[in-house]
Chains A and B, each alone.
Chain A
């Protein structure tokens, strides 16, 4: 069974962005403040790194002119971000 390079690249980028988005959600200052959770030290620099990591795969795909992989990545990021927000809110409430 052959592995499609475009789809493989898209999946890798989705995985990297998903990890970064989950990190951003877990360290979101406003959500943590609302849930009365402590904010780790040096959170701002870490969040900046996570933000860059979340967006970087998309920039990379655009630079490589991988339009199909970019659209898959963008669609995935949109859904992943929303679902991360929903799941984290549900976890914090329980």
Chain B
């Protein structure tokens, strides 16, 4: 498609390959966990057996919120955030903003969790937002997957900066790949896999990458935007435009109340406001509700909706907190609609794929897995080109361990959570189980030393662990299928089925790989079970 001079093509091939060799493993980790994180909420529901039959915002909540707020001190009425808890309870976070030692402004207040049916208080905690919300075992597995994807489980801002750099490297790989492939459209269906050759490896990578190019670029761009916006963009804007005044920046971004009136006033009926909000958004699902200046004349109620089926942007509606009248649709940034705000608000749905429910999410999951395949075949191609260089042998062992070991470690993190939930130990169990499994997988790889054996065996263990996860979920106290059906916990059943089918597929692929003498690259096994002999020197080959 593009005809560059030979020297420039060689330079781009080197940039494309070396960037993948240096950052490919981390990029693979981010992309794989990103694909899984598309269904993070559903995984969270699955892990605790939560039912979605009666969403919080479909039930009357006005009386519960007002009863709760009656016992909340005045200082925490600056903002009240209402949402659902990981277990499906009503959660009221009444808070103010305070400067925390060694950091910027942070929310400080009282978090109350209420049973939406009976109205009884389930729990009540006071403290900083990160501490109060961070101590929730029920969300530990979901948070772990998201945290690995967002910042590779590293402290902020370093993890965000690293994932931002990885996003940039993915964009570099996409652009350089586009430029170095001379026959992009002519080769779009060309897969020569009858013989295990360099050509077959190249075909597998180029076909997957050519088709996946638009989404690889889209996801890398939006992901890089989020990583750098949080770690670099916002702090820089605060310093440059607001002289470091975080409160001023927040007020400009979110919009301060037009008129300050601190006289006491009864807050309007929240159920009526929610009814009106639904009518204006075509019954789009409500994500959260917040009340600014609760119990005052200038109170404002903000209702955030998920994107409606026909819309890409999530809508945010503002109502008067006293009369309940609709005031305006609020842009994500600033107080007036702008192109910047419109672009910013579409970034999320484009990256998370949550704009058309389970259909778009399933597509994004599959696209994430296809990107993983693209990275794996790219590394495989790089190694095939160096199959006769002994120096790359350990890199091929490492590649097999990372590509097949990482999903196994993620499955192990789910086991860790299920074994320890609901105790407080479940907070750290996913990370601990992940690290223990990673150490075992590394030791297994060093012991086997043969990449092909590592691939097929890890594939088998992955299949077995995925297949057994639903049984372990039920054995550790989760609802069985009948109970889940009864309670409307459909996420639990759907994910159980997906895990069982995924597990069986992995076992079958591993069986096919092993039956062919363990001399196959399992990436090939996924692609179509083609023979690809590689030199076998490991323990398993002896």
What residues of chain A have their CB less than 8 Å away from a CB belonging to chain B? 4-7, 10, 24-25, 28, 30-31, 34, 66-68, 71-72, 74-76, 78-79, 81-82, 84-86, 88-90, 93
Instruction: Name B291-315 residues within 8 Å CB distance of A.
Output: 307, 309-312
**Could you tell me if A28 and B366 are in contact, using CB atoms closer than 8 angstroms?**
no
**Could you tell me if B363 and A76 are in contact, using CB atoms closer than 8 angstroms?**
yes
B11 proximity list for chain A (CB < 8 A): none
Q: Chain B nearest CB: distance from A43 CB in Å?
A: 14
State A75–B356 Cα separation when bound (angstroms): 12
B528: which of A4, A68, A90 is its contact (CB, 8 Å)? A90
**Could you tell me if A79 and B359 are in contact, using CB atoms closer than 8 angstroms?**
no
**Could you tell me if A31 and B189 are in contact, using CB atoms closer than 8 angstroms?**
yes
Known interface pairs A72-B360, A79-B367; A84-B189 also in contact (CB < 8 Å): yes
Known interface pairs A6-B310, A67-B312, A88-B189; A82-B212 also in contact (CB < 8 Å): yes
B 361-381 binary contact with A (CB < 8 Å = 1; else 0): 001101100100000000000
Q: Chain B nearest CB: distance from A35 CB in Å?
A: 9
Most buried by A among B187, B211, B311: B211
Interface size band for B: 35 or more
Interface of A is mostly: helix
Chain B's closest residue to A5 (CB) is B310
A6 proximity list for chain B (CB < 8 A): 309-310, 356
**Could you tell me if B311 and A68 are in contact, using CB atoms closer than 8 angstroms?**
yes
Most buried by B among A66, A67, A82, A88: A82
B208 proximity list for chain A (CB < 8 A): 82
B 188-202 binary contact with A (CB < 8 Å = 1; else 0): 111111100000000
**Could you tell me if B356 and A7 are in contact, using CB atoms closer than 8 angstroms?**
yes
State A31–B193 Cα separation when bound (angstroms): 11
6 contacts between A and B (CB under 8 A): A68-B360, A74-B214, A79-B366, A81-B211, A82-B211, A90-B528
B188 proximity list for chain A (CB < 8 A): 28, 81, 85
Instruction: Name B320-362 residues within 8 Å CB distance of A.
Output: 346, 350, 353, 355-356, 359-360
B272 proximity list for chain A (CB < 8 A): none
State A25–B367 Cα separation when bound (angstroms): 20
Known pairs A6-B309, A10-B356, A82-B211 / 14 extra A-B pairs, C-beta < 8 Å: A4-B310, A28-B188, A34-B190, A68-B307, A68-B311, A71-B360, A75-B353, A75-B364, A79-B211, A79-B367, A85-B191, A86-B191, A86-B207, A89-B192
**Could you tell me if B370 and A30 are in contact, using CB atoms closer than 8 angstroms?**
no
Known interface pairs A67-B312, A82-B370; A72-B359 also in contact (CB < 8 Å): yes
**Could you tell me if B356 and A72 are in contact, using CB atoms closer than 8 angstroms?**
yes
State A28–B183 Cα separation when bound (angstroms): 13
B311 proximity list for chain A (CB < 8 A): 67-68
A4 proximity list for chain B (CB < 8 A): 309-310
**Could you tell me if B211 and A71 are in contact, using CB atoms closer than 8 angstroms?**
no
B481 proximity list for chain A (CB < 8 A): none
A24: which of B189, B193, B214, B367 is its contact (CB, 8 Å)? B189
B444 proximity list for chain A (CB < 8 A): none
State A72–B360 Cα separation when bound (angstroms): 6
A25: which of B189, B212, B353 is its contact (CB, 8 Å)? B189
Q: Chain B nearest CB: distance from A6 CB in Å?
A: 4
State A84–B189 Cα separation when bound (angstroms): 8
Most buried by B among A10, A28, A78: A78
Chain B's closest residue to A88 (CB) is B189
Known interface pairs A74-B214, A82-B208; A34-B356 also in contact (CB < 8 Å): no
**Could you tell me if A68 and B356 are in contact, using CB atoms closer than 8 angstroms?**
yes
Known interface pairs A4-B309, A78-B212; A72-B528 also in contact (CB < 8 Å): no
**Could you tell me if B310 and A85 are in contact, using CB atoms closer than 8 angstroms?**
no
**Could you tell me if B367 and A71 are in contact, using CB atoms closer than 8 angstroms?**
no
**Could you tell me if B211 and A85 are in contact, using CB atoms closer than 8 angstroms?**
yes
State A76–B353 Cα separation when bound (angstroms): 13
State A86–B359 Cα separation when bound (angstroms): 23
Q: B420: CB under 8 A from chain A? A: no
**Could you tell me if A68 and B310 are in contact, using CB atoms closer than 8 angstroms?**
yes
Q: Chain B nearest CB: distance from A88 CB in Å?
A: 7
Q: B186: CB under 8 A from chain A? A: yes
**Could you tell me if A75 and B363 are in contact, using CB atoms closer than 8 angstroms?**
yes
**Could you tell me if A78 and B214 are in contact, using CB atoms closer than 8 angstroms?**
yes
B191: which of A67, A68, A89 is its contact (CB, 8 Å)? A89
Most buried by A among B189, B211, B214: B189
Instruction: Name B218-233 residues within 8 Å CB distance of A.
Output: none
Known interface pairs A75-B360, A79-B367; A7-B189 also in contact (CB < 8 Å): no
